[in-house]
Structures are given as structure tokens and as C-alpha cells.
Amino acid sequence: MSRVTRLIFLLTLMAFTVSGVQKLNVTPERGTTFNISSSQVEGCKVCTVAESSRQCHPSLLLEDNTPVSLEFECSKPQDVFSVEIVRNIDCNTKSCNGRIVQADSGSLPFLDFNRKFTWNLKAFAQEAFKIDFGNTGLRQIKPSERCPDKHSYTLQAFQATGNVTVGKYCRTGPVSSAQILNTGSFSLDVPAGQKLQNGQFDVSVGEEIKSLAKITLTLPKGTSTSELLSPNYPESFPDDDVMEWYFQVPDKHRISVQFSNLKQPHCLKNQTAVEYHNKARGASVSGLMDPQPVQEHGDFALKLRNCEMDRGRSGSPVLSLSLKVSSKFTGLPVTCTVDPRKIEGLSLHIEKLRPKSDCRMKMNSTLKETITVTSKSVLTFQDCFPEDVKVTATRVIECRQLKDCSKTPTRLSVPALPTCLPVPLSNVTWTLRPSHHGTVELTSPTGSLKQCLPGNRCNDSIIIKVAEDDGTTVGHFCPQGAIRRIQLHTNVSVTLSGTRGKALTTSKYVLNAILKEEISERYIFTISPKRDTPVLLASPGWPVGMKSYSTVSWIISVPPKMEAHLMFANLSQPKCSNRHTNIRVQRVGSPEEEYSRREDEEAESEITVSDNFYLNMSNCMPESGGGHFSVIIQITLQKSINLLLTIILSVVAALLVIFVIVLVAVCVVIRKKKKKLNHEVSIYNPNGISFLPGQNGFPKTDEDEYHVYESIEDTLVYTDLLRKGAEMGVYGEFDRCQPVSGHKDSQKPLISKNTDEDDMPVGSYQQFQGPPLPVRPPSHVQSLVDNVIYQTGDQSEEEDSPNLGPRLEPEGGN
């Protein structure tokens, strides 16, 4: 878990004011001490509150990772108290047990207090510890000054005679590290209400030093000035002590040192002095009042040495001073001979970017601010840094008659410039001017180009800008893409430059250019997409828009059994004052258009095209302020779905045929079954078991035996018919309860006596012959048959019976 996270969990504070008393609950992190101190001797106090006790103090020290409840006996303790958060870092002979980490989360409850973060550092006996301030460094300021970000750092050295303030610093400056002998502290002061900026500094074992502190400064290239102050400035530097500054100087720089605000003490022993130590020249000593020597031989150390001062007399001066260190590039003049014939006929342009810089350029011994080399020349550069100078190259390629144009392409490549120039080539531009009706054709030696667009960034080290001669941008490109050829029916400039401001790679072959015959469009791009690799293309001039009345065509090659999926994104249409914009898609060799839309028609966002095709666009004359015509096209190749669709349709057709055949067969079977059922005779069994004679034969009993009856009375067989006949007035009254002779088993079917169980075939139809029907009037025969004999079990009598008038209940009915 990080230190910040631990502080979040360990230090929980709740602040509130009740009756003028502010309460806090705080738990110091292990190894951290909170020192709450007051600027007043009397007045507001801070109290610790326990379950049964309350102790108040003018200041308080919290440690040991113990939760404490605090109360301040005033409503605004932040005006009285300040909070110091202290951590300790110890070093042995090899390493230190921590680093300086700035974390605000632990002190956020004290945001309204003045806070001070202090790291006490202790080196091994008679050694030093070192603090590395990283790449940004620190800058020394006067004690009365404040830092712009309200974060001020203080470095102290602890000595037997007392603490010495080495200096006060702000972020960002030439001070790269500091070393303190034995023990010291590094603190950060943040005013009330200011949140702490996160950061960290590494702490390590230092060198063997003979001074109370050693401050290392890394001077930047070029002209710079740094201000340094003596320890305890503006108070006295300790007696008989030494302060050291070490300067890391860039090559070919001159360093000058000047003292100001100098206070010279009265010395009892020894003398104040300044010592310069340089590896090339050794050591030299100067007095504080003497002119200080110029340092011209690289890194050097400056040591300020104090004497034993006379402090007995009142008002005696003490040693105090300010150092102004100035750095300036003082390189010797560099001579460079440039011959355009050796750099592929290019003209060289050298421009001075910073007029106030010390850079001096000469051409053939004449001082220049801008140099253009068109013939062999001798150039001289002195004190010129890469940031001071910009070098570009240009060349014009043209032919006035098509017959005079070269039949072989011209190589457009980065030239190899002389290494004596102060900076590499920034960019190179070719201006291509074909004949009046000619065309510029650009191809890549690697085979293809890619257009640089949002979401389609170029990873190459070179960017190719193609523009018309009036500066109108056609597009930005780089190697390795799907664009095989670019044709432009106009004068063209091609500019090569490095990506992200980097210099161009020497002798890199980028493009082929050739001047050819006229084309039908203003721009033609030949595209060969690859499968599963989307291609992004933009209309010329994107995102500004196409020129009025200009036309562009993309010729897209689609491999066999593939199709191209086109998606139009960021389509912007103008309001036209003359003519119309048009987007058309047409297959190669086909007179019909696959797609066509004007600016006043709703455009589709996606279309799919098979085979090679043209994508043509033309612009109108837009109204003033009526917008512009621009679009981004994404082309993605995918497998053609025609063959797959044919297969799917064939399978579906076969399934439909099978389904129709099955359906017809089912219908025929059902129809035959219905006819068979219409001819079957339903037999009524008053004993509760009904059956149909036919394939299944007669049902058998559980004992698998039949009962034979000698006789069956007609009334039992036709009871239901007789009852309904009586209801219709056909029959008179009859007795349903007459005795039946013979076997009476209500659970058994009535079987003829002549029926032989052994002779009855199983599963064959046996025609059943009942007793003769009673004599009925002819008018009722058919209705009785329809309503009784052929009545199914799921039909009610009311559904199938004709309207025979009011029903007559027979006597003795149920």
C-alpha cells in the first residue's frame, strides 16, 4: 500500500465547532510526528481529551501512532497555531532508509492551518547525505521572496554551533542536488488554504566533503543567469566555515561570476577568500573585492571560505554576499562549404530564429540574418545552437512542353547535407510544374501511401504534405498504406518533414514524381485495399473542404469474390449558389451508377459495392458562409455474400419443397381417416362401455373372457332411441325397468350367444347385426340416424338435433 493510501486510512479527522471549541480526532502515522505549536504565549490552547481527563497545553506533540482527540479553546485556531509534520530519514555507509515524499492527504484536515513538512536527515558519522532534485531542479530565492506556486523549500545544516540555513528555494531551476555534512533538514512550507503538490526527491549517501554543504548546479545551454546567496543570507555566514557550489557547464561556454550586496567582516584569524577548482587549470584563489576570473574550461567548483570574525565590537560587519553566475556560449567560428550540385540540385535556406541570440551567420564573409545558397558558397557559424537556426531545402522541377518532360520518374529523397551545419535539415520541398495540360503523378517506391487522418496516424518518421501551388492542402501522407498512385491536374508542391518536429533522416528515398499527360479530373487516387484492413480517405483539402467546382475520383480495386463496404463519415455539405455537389459510385465498365446523391438529397451513410469501381465527387460554388464540401470515407473489404446468399436460398427452397410434400401427405392421410370414420357404426352399450367394431375388435375384460347372453330385449338395445322417439311423439310410453332374462352383468358388453371366443379374429372388422329397428314414420328415420347413431362423444344434443319443437319428457323418466 502506498504512503498516500496509508495516510488516508491512518489519519482521519473530523472538525466541527461547538460553543467556540473546535474538535479534532487524529491518529499520526507510525514514524510521523505532528507538532502543533502556537505563536502566542497565552491565549488559545490545544487540549487532549480522554474518557476521564482533559489536559490543555500551549503546544502539543503527537506521535506513536496513537489516536488522540483534540480540542482547541478558540473558534479560529488556524490563526494561532501552525502544524509541522515531521519524518526522519537515516543513512548508513551504503544507503538511506527512505525518500522525501510529498503527500497532502495526511494533512488535509489542517488545510486551514499554516503547514510545514519537514524531513530530518542524518548521515553516517562524518559523512554526507545527498538530495537529488530530479530533472526540474530548484531555484534559490531571497528569504523575503515567495514562490509562484506557494511552495517554498528550505535546506538547513545542523552544526554544533547552531543550525545554518543553506538556502530557500522554489521549483524549477539549475540546482540539481544538495549535500549536507552529518545532519540537516529539508522542509516545505505551505500557507493556509494551499493544497500540497505531490512529488518526491531521492535521498542517498553523499560524497566525502569538507564543507558544511555542497550545492550542484547544472547550467543550461546558451545564455543564462543564476543568483546564489551565502548561507544564512542576509545574516552572517558561520565563522571559519566553507560553503561549496559545483557548476556543471555545457561545452563551449564561458562562465563569469560577480559578487553583489557584499559585506566584508573584520577577521581575527585567516582571511575570507574565494577558491576556484578546475580540472584543466587546477585551483586558484581570489579575494572578495577582486575581479573574479572567467571560467572557460568546463565544470568547476567555487568555494566560499570565511574567517574567524570579530564579533566583540558592536555593529561589526559579518560575511554576507550574493553571487551572480552568468553563462554564455563562446564557440569558435565553424566554416562550412555548401555546393547545391552535391545535394541533388536543392537550394539551401538557413534562417535565424531568435534575433536576440548570440548566433552569428556569414555567407562568403558577409554577416547575414538569412542565407540562401543557390551556388557553391562558404558559410560561417559562431555561437549558433540548434534552437537558434532552421535549415530547409527547395527544388523546382518543371517542363513547358509535354514532349520535353522526362519519361523516367524523378526521385524525391532527403539529401545528405554537410555535417558542419549547426542543425540538421528541417524539411525539403519540391515544386512540380507540368505543362499547361499536364499532370503530376506521385508514387511510392515502397508500393503504397497512407493518408494521415484522425484515427489513422502515421507511425513513420516522415510526413509528406501535398499541396497546390497556391498553398491549398490536398492531404498529408506517409509510406505503407493502400494508395498506389496520386495524380493531380495542377502545379503541386511536395514537402517532406519529420514527425513531431524531429529532423529528417538523411538520404531517405520517399517518392517518385513524373510529369504526364492531362487527366479528366483535378485529382485521381488509385486505391488497392487489403482484406481486413480498413482504409481511411479524405476529400482534398480536408477538413477545410474542396475547392469550388473541383472534382476528385478514387479508383478502387476489389479482388475477386470480395466486395467493398463504404462508410461516409463527417460528411459536410454546403449550400450551393451554382451547380450541385455530387457523390457517385459506379462500377468499372458499367454505364449504370450504383449510387448518386446531391447536397439537397439525403445521403446514405453506408453502401456495399462488388467489383472494381469509381468513387467520384464534385463540388459546386458554395454560398458565402454556406459551409464547405468535405467527407471522410472508410473502405473495408469483406467476402462477397452473393455465393453465400445463393447457397442459403437453395437450402431454403429445398426445405420448402420438402415441407410442401410432407404437408400434402399429412393432408391426404387425414382425409382418408375422416372418410373411414364416417362409415363406422357406433354401438350403444347401456352398461357403460362403448366401443366401435372394426380393426380393434371387441374389448376384453380383465379376466380376458366373454359372456354370452341367450336373449336381449329390444328395449334394452333401443332404450335411448325409444326415449327420444317418445319425446318427438313417435313412440308411446314404455317401461325402462323390465326384467332382462339371462346374464345381467353391468360391467360386461352384450355379446351374441353364437359368438365363439376362439373363432373371433383379433384386429379384424366384425360386422355387428342388432335386432330389427321399430317401425317409425319415414320422416323421422333420417333425423334419428343423424342425431343418435352418428353422434360423437364431444357433441351435445342441442348442437346436432334439428328443431323438433318442445321436448316431451317420457313418463317414468329419470
Task: Write out pLDDT tens, residues 235-262.
Answer: 988 899 999 999 999 988 889 999 999 9
pLDDT category, 316, cuts 50, 70, 90?
confident
| In contact, 564 and 636? CB cutoff 8 Å | yes
Query: Which residues fall within 8 angstroms of residue 454, CB to CB, at 6 or more apart?
Result: none
Its sign, for the CA torsion 378, 384, 389, 392, is: positive
**Most distant pair of Cα atoms in the chain: their distance:** 166
Q: What is the mean pLDDT of the chain?
A: 80
Amino acid symbol at 39? S
* pLDDT at residue 222, as a whole number: 80
**Cell for 44?**
488559545
* pLDDT at residue 53, as a whole number: 85
pLDDT category, 665, cuts 50, 70, 90?
confident
pLDDT category, 764, cuts 50, 70, 90?
very low
Nearest-angstrom CA–CA distance, 183 and 157? 6
| In contact, 38 and 29? CB cutoff 8 Å | no
Beta bridge partners of 156: 165, 185
Nearest-angstrom CA–CA distance, 106 and 102? 10
pLDDT tens per residue, range 69-78: 888 888 888 8
pLDDT category, 678, cuts 50, 70, 90?
low
Task: Report the SS3 class of residue 245.
Answer: strand
Averaged pLDDT for residues 753-779: 45
Task: Report the SS3 class of residue 658.
Answer: helix
* pLDDT at residue 713, as a whole number: 59
* pLDDT at residue 582, as a whole number: 93
User: How open is the CA angle 387-390-391, to the nearest 5 degrees?
Assistant: 140
Place of cell 570579530: 310
Q: What phi and psi values does residue 699 have, to the nearest 5 degrees? A: -70, 150
| In contact, 527 and 635? CB cutoff 8 Å | yes
Query: Which residues fall within 8 angstroms of residue 646, CB to CB, at 6 or more apart?
Result: none
Which range of 45-54, 185-194, 450-459 scores highest in mean pLDDT? It is 185-194
Q: DSSP assignment, residue 620?
A: -
Of the listed ranges 69-73, 352-356, 519-523, 745-749, the least confidently predicted one is 745-749
Chain length of the chain:
814
* pLDDT at residue 320, as a whole number: 93
Q: Closest by alpha carbon to 584, among 544, 547, 618?
A: 618
Nearest-angstrom CA–CA distance, 726 and 516? 115
Nearest-angstrom CA–CA distance, 164 and 306? 14
Amino acid symbol at 301? A
Number of Cβ atoms within 10 Å of the Cβ of 118: 18
Q: DSSP assignment, residue 114?
A: E
pLDDT tens per residue, range 547-569: 999 999 999 999 988 899 999 98
Averaged pLDDT for residues 174-190: 96
Nearest-angstrom CA–CA distance, 320 and 385? 37
Nearest-angstrom CA–CA distance, 786 and 775? 17
Q: How far is CA 184 from CA 211, 302, 715, in A?
A: 13, 22, 132
The pLDDT > 90 percentage for the chain reads 41
87: pLDDT strictly greater than 50: yes
pLDDT category, 218, cuts 50, 70, 90?
very high
742: pLDDT strictly greater than 60: no
191: pLDDT strictly greater than 60: yes
Q: Which ranges of 679-776 would DSSP assign to H, the alpha helix?
A: 714-717, 719-727
* pLDDT at residue 480, as a whole number: 86
7: pLDDT strictly greater than 60: no
**pTM (predicted TM-score):** 0.50
pLDDT tens per residue, range 463-494: 999 999 888 999 999 888 899 999 999 999 99
Task: Report the SS3 class of residue 8.
Answer: helix
Amino acid symbol at 618? S
Strands 389-398 and 425-433 come out as parallel
* pLDDT at residue 711, as a whole number: 58
